[in-house]
Amino acid sequence: MGAYYDEIEIEDMAWDEAKGVYHYPCPCGDRFEITRRQLADCEDIATCPSCSLIIRVIFDPLDFEDEPDEDEDESQSDEGDSGSDENRFEDAMEKLSLTSEGD
């Protein structure tokens, strides 16, 4: 890889829960970004989406080794959705009352 703009320790970066990335201010006014999945894959380059600068992130890969794969995240969210649908179905069945037409 070419020259890094800087080397930054992960502790100096901020975690953005909404975007799911660590970020650090870039001199262009935007932010360098790197995901936990990238860190778990031992990728240490954070990029700026607005310019060509990159930084090297200093971190301990062992801190991110338990990060689930993106495929696992999707399957778990799918399973969670079906479980909630099943719960809604069971709740609806409990509330359902049947009456005969002759009553």
- The residues spanned by each domain of the chain are 1-85
Contacts of residue 23, Cβ cutoff 8 Å, sequence gap at least 6: 13, 14, 16, 31, 32, 33, 46
Sequence-separated (6 or more) residues with CB below 8 Å from residue 16: 22, 23
Q: Indicate the DSSP class of residue 16.
A: E
Rounded Cα distance between 98 and 6, Å, is 70
Indicate the pLDDT class of residue 66, thresholds 50, 70 and 90.
Answer: confident
From the candidate CATH numbers 3.20.20.80, 3.20.20.70, 3.40.640.10, 3.10.660.10, the one assigned to the domain spanning 1-85: 3.10.660.10
Which of the residue ranges 25-29, 32-36, 86-90 would you say has the lowest mean pLDDT? 86-90
Question: How many other C-beta atoms can be found within 10 angstroms of the C-beta atom of residue 79?
Answer: 10
